[in-house]
Structure 1
Amino acid sequence: MNTTIRQLETDDDRNSFDCGVESLNAWLKQMAGQNDRKRFTRTYVMVEADDPKKVIGYYSLMAISAETEGLPSKKRLPEKVSAVLLARLALDKNYTGQGLGESLLMHALYTTSQASNLIGVHCVIVDALNEDVANKFYMPYGFAPFQNEPLRLVFFLETLKDM
């Protein structure tokens, strides 16, 4: 399947998107556009080349200051570090099993890595929807749980050098 990932546009068709999780569907349909306009988040959408306005997947990023307590790091860190929150990531349920979720995740990490060349970004943090998502989707790509919050995961950007 030939897909493209790009920033959300105001005329994108978000209404037919259904990942099976109503909160993620509603956020894309009702909040993503205004959050982008207000510069709270940046939302990136995956579209098919044959239908470049129909959203089949998306992710949203936002800058945060992250407490380092509980971070699974062997290095000494300050009390807080600059981070990017992977605030949302979802794929339409009609497109699962094709590696497209992985493509969205890799694009999010690449985008964050590019930003880290311009501003200080230490890591990517995500709050996994549940243990299954944490263990089967995020952890195989190098995300690790916070010691005190097992569904809050971190990916250290320095590990991209090893990939």
Structure 2
Amino acid sequence: MDIEYIKDNYKFETLTEKHDLSNFECGSDDLNDFIKNDALNQQEDKINITKLIICEEEIIGFVSLLTDTIPLKNIRDENIRLKLKPHYNEDVEKVPKKKPLPAIKIGRFAIDKKYTNNGLGSHILRNVINSIRKLSENDVGLRFIIVEGYASAYNFYAVHNHFSNLKKDDELIKDKLDRIIQQNPEQTFYLYLDLKKS
């Protein structure tokens, strides 16, 4: 299928037992195993919800979302940390840095390997982000989107889609990311997106 056609015609459908996932292959055993064996059970147990990305009845990818928090101390921008501290209704100087801030977590996100490396993943992710932004503006208070992304997907999230890594990972990413990707591409890094800045 043509990528531009997919961008104009895909839709999101909530995963059900009726969906045939047998042909889906994203190149990651972990993500393939999740969508084929774990996603529906977790959804039924209200752990997360998985939306399939479908075009012309073909499963192009999926995204799994759940609620989470991000500790205040993990926000890179000190101005944002200082601005958010007073919302705890405590003495600003005594607020623990690990106080949790509301977030939505992208638990899993994958595109079938037939359709990767052409901008489709970023296009879909932007729509997911926009949906979460609308939710935050109209239905529930949340400020951040977080993801525990694979090292191999670091550039996808951080460079192409403006997520920030945690400050504690700066040196590791700067000095060792290429080696980590070669040796352990599924090592994870926490990244976040501030909905007020994106």
TM-score, normalised to structure 2, is 0.72
In structure 1, runs of 5+ residues without a counterpart are none
Which residue in the other structure is 1:59 paired with? 63
The secondary structure found in structure 2 opposite 1:82 is strand
Greater percentage in strand: 1
Structure 2: how far apart are the matches of 1:115 and 1:149?
30
Structure 2: how far apart are the matches of 1:26 and 1:112?
26
Which residue in the other structure is 1:112 paired with? 132
Q: Deviations over 1:32-72 (max 9, x none)?
A: 111112221111111112xx2x3220111100122121221
CA contact (8 A) 1:89 1:104 kept: no
Structure 2: how far apart are the matches of 1:25 and 1:5?
18
CA contact (8 A) 1:45 1:58 kept: yes
Identity %: 25
Structure 1: how far apart are the matches of 2:120 and 2:15?
17
Q: Considering only CA atoms, is the larger Rg found in Structure 1 or Structure 2? A: 2
Q: Deviations over 1:97-152 (max 9, x none)?
A: 3422113211221221122121111100111100x4212x1122221111124521
1:34 is the counterpart of 2:38: no
CA contact (8 A) 2:122 2:161 kept: no
Cα distance, 1:141–1:109 mapped onto 2, change above 3 Å: same
Structure 2: how far apart are the matches of 1:138 and 1:57?
16
Structure 2: how far apart are the matches of 1:103 and 1:43?
18
Please list every run of at least 4 consecutive aligned residues from structure 1 whose deviation after the TM superposition is greater than 6 angstroms.
none
Structure 1: how far apart are the matches of 2:20 and 2:47?
21
The secondary structure found in structure 1 opposite 2:64 is strand
Structure 2: how far apart are the matches of 1:153 and 1:102?
15
Aligned residues: 155
Query: In structure 2, what residue type is equivalent to 1:35?
Result: Q
Structure 1: how far apart are the matches of 2:169 and 2:108?
18
Structure 2: how far apart are the matches of 1:149 and 1:123?
18
Greater percentage in helix: 2
In structure 2, runs of 5+ residues without a counterpart are 86-98, 171-188
